[in-house]
Amino acid sequence: QVELVESGGGLVQAGGSLRLSCAASGSIRNINRMGWYRQAPGKQRELVAVIISGGRTNHGDFVTGRFTISRDNAKNTVYLQMNSLKREDTAVYYCNVEAVGPLFEVLAYWGQGTQVTVSS
């Protein structure tokens, strides 16, 4: 079993910055992928950014250089630095991790979500 603990959400003014963190712990042999998704009210959950082992990243089109995903392998932690935030970035942000367990099973896990609210 893997536990994800998210932190860093909150209320920020438009143009401001926030940094989200997600730490994975538990029965982990290896982590293949760590990333962030978001879901705004009335909308589908969408990819924000993902980083895979080796450091390659992918992100949603709306990121346009404003957000940066990074990973600390030693701590099994993924970060999302969000700059130049806009009102439309308001959403619940979810951490997602694909991990290899002790029996080499590959499972995906979701965090509980952290609210990001951007005010004008």
**Tens of pLDDT, residues 16-57:** 999 999 999 999 999 999 999 999 999 999 999 999 988 899
Q: For 10, how many CA atoms within 13 A lie in the half-sphere containing its CB?
A: 11
Question: How buried is 101 (Cβ within 10 angstroms: 0-12 exposed, 13-18 middle, 19+ buried)?
Answer: middle
Beta bridge partners of 100: 30, 106
Task: State the Cα–Cα distance between residues 82 and 12, nearest whole angstrom.
Answer: 11
The pLDDT-based confidence of 1 (bands split at 50, 70, 90) is confident
Residue 85 has pLDDT above 90, yes or no: yes
Average of per-residue pLDDT across 72-88: 97
